[in-house]
Amino acid sequence: MRFHVLTLFPEMILQGVSHSILGRAIADGLIRVEAVNIRDFSHNKQLHVDDAPFGGGAGMVMQAPPVYEAWEAVSQKIASEQGEGIRKTRVVFMTPAGRPFSQEIARELAAEEDLILLCGHYEGIDQRVIDEIVTDEISIGDYVLTGGELPALVVMDAVSRLVPGVLGNDDSAEDESFSGMYLEYPQFTRPREYHGREVPEVLLSGHHENIRKWRLEQSMRTTMRKRPDLIDPARMSKEEAKIYRRLLAESEEYGPSSE
């Protein structure tokens, strides 16, 4: 999978993906990250790419022509690499006004061969170029950052770990929070006893079926306590529905809110 990031701060992107699992995935050729400097497409000697907003107001706005030309250059490169089978490459604009990012969107994007990520800065980008080239808008949360680089890194991280081979063990992405309806069960490693706290006995038993059941129940408990909005009894298996009813009966903690 190839990411093409349109940004004013390419070093930030390249630094951000150069470590740990993403760094290894790049070295192994499983993903490729290219950062295109929008400033290279500036139309003036000072290399400015922003200007004051029409209509007045605070801050500066990124101009349409450099953004468009950066996108055009990347699109041509992608087209020349794709050869005959050219597909329209999705262009994701990182913006607080976008679709809230989720594991589901990460899964959807992981199916793409190429992805263009557009990072805004200052007060944002001239709307006309957004209307012309952007296919998707994604927000990483209800807060405002100084630029789209951190959001682009968040998206690339979540998407990359779903690309086959990026995680050492392909199962690890299937068994964790948001892969199904539940958050992940608690994890433990050595030492067996830590500050007087023991690892749950069942995890030392070697009994795979009991461990599976214990983890499922722990996942359900955690989700019911921390994110009851994720629970949908209609989607539960028979086994899950049985555990769910027992947990509800067991504790008022999981009951309907008194608001």
**Which positions lie near ligand SAM, rule CB under 6 A?**
94-97, 119-121, 123-124, 139-141, 143-148, 151
Q: Residue 142 CB, nearest distance to ligand SAM (Å)? A: 7
Q: Residue 145 CB, nearest distance to ligand SAM (Å)? A: 4
> Strand, coil or helix: what is 207?
coil
**d(C-alpha 105, C-alpha 109), whole Å:** 6
> Strand, coil or helix: what is 63?
coil
* Closest alpha carbon to 174 in 165, 185, 162, 166: 162
Q: Residue 33 CB, nearest distance to ligand SAM (Å)? A: 18
Cα torsion 213, 184, 241, 102 to 10°: value is: -150
* Closest alpha carbon to 116 in 129, 102, 130, 135: 135
Residue nearer to ligand SAM on the CB measure, 121 or 221 = 121
- Looking at the DSSP bridge assignments, the partners of residue 33 are 3
Residue nearer to ligand SAM on the CB measure, 66 or 219 = 66
Residue nearer to ligand SAM on the CB measure, 69 or 137 = 137
**d(C-alpha 146, C-alpha 141), whole Å:** 13
Q: Residue 163 CB, nearest distance to ligand SAM (Å)? A: 22
**d(C-alpha 208, C-alpha 206), whole Å:** 6
Residue nearer to ligand SAM on the CB measure, 123 or 217 = 123
Query: Residue 6: in which H helix or E strand, if any?
Result: strand 2-7
Residue nearer to ligand SAM on the CB measure, 147 or 180 = 147
Cα torsion 167, 172, 178, 182 to 10°: value is: -170
Q: Computed from CA positions of residues 50, 52, 55, 56, in that sequence, does the dihedral angle turn out positive or negative?
A: positive
Residue nearer to ligand SAM on the CB measure, 141 or 164 = 141
Q: Residue 95 CB, nearest distance to ligand SAM (Å)? A: 5
Q: Residue 58 CB, nearest distance to ligand SAM (Å)? A: 9
Residue nearer to ligand SAM on the CB measure, 78 or 153 = 153
How many angstroms separate the Cα of 38 from the Cα of each of 1, 50, 125, 199? 22, 11, 12, 52
Residue at shortest CB range from ligand SAM: 120
Q: Residue 35 CB, nearest distance to ligand SAM (Å)? A: 15
